[in-house]
Amino acid sequence: MHDRPNLSPPWRIGIDIGGTFTDLVLIDAEGLLRQHKASTTTNDPSEGVIDVLRLAADAAGLSTASLLGGCSHFVHGSTIATNTLLEAKGAKVGLLVTEGFRDALEIRRGMREDPWEHRTPFPLVLVPRSLRLPIRERTDKAGQSLVPLDDESVRRAVGEMQSRGVEAVAIAFLNSFINSQHEHECKELVRSLWPDAWVYASSDMVRMVGEYERTSTVVLNAYVAPRVVPYLRRLELRLKEYGLKRPLLLMQSNGGVVSVQQVEQRPASLLLSGPSAGASALMVCAKALGSQDLISIEIGGTSCDVILTDDTGIAMTNSTDVNGYHLALPAVDIHTVSAGGGTIARRDQGGMLRAGPDGAGAFPGPACYSRGGVDPTVTDAQLVLGRLQSGRYGGGLISLEKKLAEEAINNRIAAPSGLTIVHAAAGIIRLMEQEVIHAVEKVSVERGFDPSRFTLVAVGGAGAMHGASVARALGCRTVFVPRVAGVFCAFGMCTADARQDVVSSWLKPLATTSASDIDEFLHTLASECRKRFIDEGFEAQDINIESALELQYKGQQSSVIVPIEKTDTSAIRRAFLEQFRRLYAHDQGEDDIVITGGRAVGSVHLGFTEQKSCERTRRKIEPTDLRPVYWEESDNFKETPVFEGDALKYGDTIDGPALVESSTTTVIVPEECHLDVDSGSNFLIHVNRMPGAS
């Protein structure tokens, strides 16, 4: 049954578990790339992993054991941590806090992020007040112990938590980011009294100013740990039983990979695991295009994730919001909106058409999935307009029924609004795309970037269906659709490096801080970063560490990250002023500049073999089909050529209007646009403004 393999070992495998599909990308030693999809198994995601591995093994003429045995790197990205939080299925957590500060978690920052939005309540506090237990201890702002840790109050708290069925313990003491002694003493005492408990201290995760942020982060970590870590251990054991000989690597929120053993200490670092892999894949796109000025829109079934990169690299953040909860861990700066193929369209109380934020999910999914869904979605609208075809979809995993899509749109939108089904469908798509446009403007225009100078990278299962339209609205001239668009994050997992971030607050006036003090501070961070890699088995000579300081003007709330190559205070000051002017178009002079913290970002390049460039062809290509497709520019259906994407070669050119269908995505080439195939079999859509557009 299993013949000689048609792959060149060793190969690397990336698997991304999404809400609808589990994606696999395999890259072998010659750069040959294969991609596969299987349905996500919600009850036990590991089943979907095994299913897609079997598909890949069969396609390669291998047994599953041989496929895993020839794998040099196996990287996994999962939504299990995120889903645990979104579905409120985490552990029962007890929180130990400094006496007098038990309500910091509930008070949050003392104000709403949006002061005008007073109707939406804050998310449920993950630890009720009765389980936020005060501990007698105190450390001052200079890190001096004012009140020693009271062991007896810890013992009482442990007894209380045990009697209340607590599974995980979070410890967050005041000023522990300066001196963590009390937290670590408490952690060891809790473990000695309660060996089976999951115990986490905030100082092991976050050493930054911000009591609420540190408390929220360690609580999130404790909340997801008893659900995430056992799953990862089971998956790693199961993969070994199937033949995997290498350690399982996991995608982190910072865009790098790490071992299961490291994640056990910080499982909250997986909360944005899947989407963050797009950052690594985006850097591969930057290399292919010869430009780092890129904005990616990854549109899947439920949401759209937007990432920006320029000549300074991928935009990163120290703090992210996950469903209303604050996570103070380094992460790729991703702006997410509810705009995907499964986004539900509805009429509001005033009769206005709305798209989102609710989604149909994988089950029942859009109405056209024939799984009992009755609400119209973006996918239903695309099917009605002829941009998707009735029949098999998603690599043959789903069957689309146009009649069901028409019924859903007519019953819920068209008939009550007095619209035709076609115009209602076009309106659904237009509204959804407007959400994507706003999301791109959020990461570009609101941060001083002109989106028209960026190339739009359209990825995800639905990204290429909306890329050209979104680009035209933003003024972007080019849309890049990589050949792995439908499995973009799984591809990013194959190309990601190992990464560690060590971040710490350090409050010092720049003018009175010596270069030697700065050097000592950054050296401490770099040493800890290097130790984490060595603990994972990496060689010291393979570790690359980049240092940076965070600076701001006195009294401001946000800092500017300044890379440090040489600890010269004059050079640091100049770099800060240059970066500040770049962000805000002015500066406030050289006085009152303060250092607020620093960071060491370590990486180990894992490498991957890129696909060899194809030879350019010069030929006339013929469509595989002609079908009526609605084009909003002309407000009419036109017989539109349909091309098979997997058969296109370097040098092929297609003029719009046209559709390009591949196994994992559909590319829409609107009127007045044309598509080229590059040497890596990627698609470049050249977007022209419509006549009369400003």
Q: Amino acid letter at 379?
A: T
E-assigned strands of 90-232? 93-98, 132-135, 138-139, 145-147, 168-172, 198-201
Eight-state DSSP code of residue 4: S
Q: For residue 575, is it within any domain?
A: yes
> What is the pLDDT at residue 393?
64
pLDDT in tens, 170-185: 999 999 999 999 999 9
Asked if residue 481 belongs to a domain, the reply is no
Please say if the pLDDT value at position 320 is more than 90: no
Task: Looking at the structure, tell me whether residues 95 and 111 fall in a common domain.
Answer: yes
For residue 120, the model assigns a pLDDT of: 74
- Average pLDDT of 77-86? 84
Query: Is 342 contained in some domain?
Result: no
Do residue 93 and residue 203 come from a single domain? yes
Judged against a pLDDT cut of 80, whether residue 545 lies above it is answered with yes
User: Residue 691: what pLDDT?
Assistant: 47
What is the predicted pLDDT for the residue at 614?
73
Q: How many residues does the chain have?
A: 694
- Give yes or no: residues 42 and 142 share one domain: no
| CATH number of domain containing 568 | 3.30.1490
On whether both 95 and 57 belong to a single domain, the answer is no
Question: pLDDT band at residue 3, thresholds of 50, 70 and 90?
Answer: very low
Domain encompassing residue 119:
85-229
End-of-domain residue from the set 555, 576, 604: 604
| Of the residues 194, 229, 264, the one at which a domain ends | 229
Three-point CA angle 300, 302, 307, nearest 5°: 55
User: Across 1-15, 109-123, 309-323, 661-675, which has the greatest mean pLDDT?
Assistant: 661-675
Tell me the per-residue pLDDT of 244-293, one tens digit each, with 9 for 90 and over. 999 999 999 999 999 998 899 999 999 988 889 999 999 999 999 999 99
Residue 360 CA to residue 342 CA, distance in Å, equals 5
Contact yes or no for 410/345 (Cβ under 8 A): no
| pTM reported for the whole predicted model | 0.89
Interval 619-666: pLDDT, tens: 889 999 999 999 988 899 999 999 999 899 999 999 989 999 988 889
Run of H or E residues at 288 = helix 273-289
Q: How far apart are CA 267 and CA 127, in angstroms?
A: 18
Instruction: Please tell me whether residues 37 and 125 are part of one structural domain.
Output: no
pLDDT band at 5 (very low <50, low <70, confident <90, very high): low
| Mean pLDDT for the stretch of residues 534-552 | 93
- Is 176 found in the same domain as 120? yes
523 contact partners, CB below 8 Å, separation of at least 6:
none
Residue 457 pLDDT exceeds 50: yes
Q: Is 48 in the same domain as 173?
A: no
Q: How confident is the model at residue 80 (pLDDT cuts 50, 70, 90)?
A: confident
Mean pLDDT of 160-169: 97
The answer on pLDDT for 341 being more than 60 is yes
The band of 579, judged by pLDDT with boundaries at 50, 70 and 90, is: confident
Q: Which residues are registered as beta bridge partners of 677?
A: 683
Residue 131 sits in the same domain as residue 222: yes
What burial class does residue 526 get, using C-beta atoms within 10 Å of its C-beta: 0-12 exposed, 13-18 middle, 19+ buried?
buried
Residue 243 lies in a domain: no
**Angle separating helix axes 151-163 and 181-193, nearest 10 degrees:** 50
In this prediction, residue 394 carries a pLDDT of 58
- Does 108 lie in the same domain as 62? no
- Residue 549 banded pLDDT, cuts 50, 70, 90: very high
119: in domain: yes
The label of the residue with tokens 């237990």 reads: 133
Judgement on whether residues 59 and 103 belong to the same structural domain of the protein: no
Q: Which of 313-327, 393-407, 415-429 is the least confident region?
A: 393-407
465 part of a folded domain: no
**Where is average pLDDT lowest: 382-391, 394-403, 486-495, 555-564?**
394-403
Report yes or no: 480 and 501 within 8 Å, Cβ to Cβ. no
Final residue in a domain of this structure, among 19, 45, 77: 77
Asked whether the predicted pLDDT for residue 2 surpasses 60, the reply is no
> What is the predicted pLDDT for the residue at 629?
97
Q: Is the pLDDT of residue 6 over 80?
A: no
Which sign does the torsion angle of CA 677, 680, 681, 682 carry?
Answer: negative
Same domain, 94 and 26: no
Residue 592 falls inside a structural domain: yes
Residue 396 pLDDT level (bands cut at 50, 70, 90):
low
How many folded domains does the chain comprise? 3
Q: Look at 183-197, 545-559, 582-596 and tell me which has the smallest mean pLDDT.
A: 582-596
Beta carbons of 651 and 677 less than 8 angstroms apart:
yes
Amino acid 452: pLDDT: 95
Is the model's pLDDT at 4 over the cut of 60?
Answer: no
20 and 112 assigned to the same domain:
no
Rounded Cα distance between 201 and 171, Å, is 5
Percent of the chain whose pLDDT exceeds 90: 71
- Taking all residues of the chain, what is their mean pLDDT, rounded to a whole number? 91
pLDDT of residue 73: 93
| 81-90, 483-492, 538-547, range with the lowest pLDDT | 81-90
The pLDDT of residue 689: 64
pLDDT of amino acid 676: 95
Q: State pLDDT tens for residues 101-124.
A: 999 999 887 666 677 777 777 888
Q: Which residues contact 693 (CB under 8 A, 6 or more apart)?
A: 472
- Whether 261 is in a domain gets the answer no
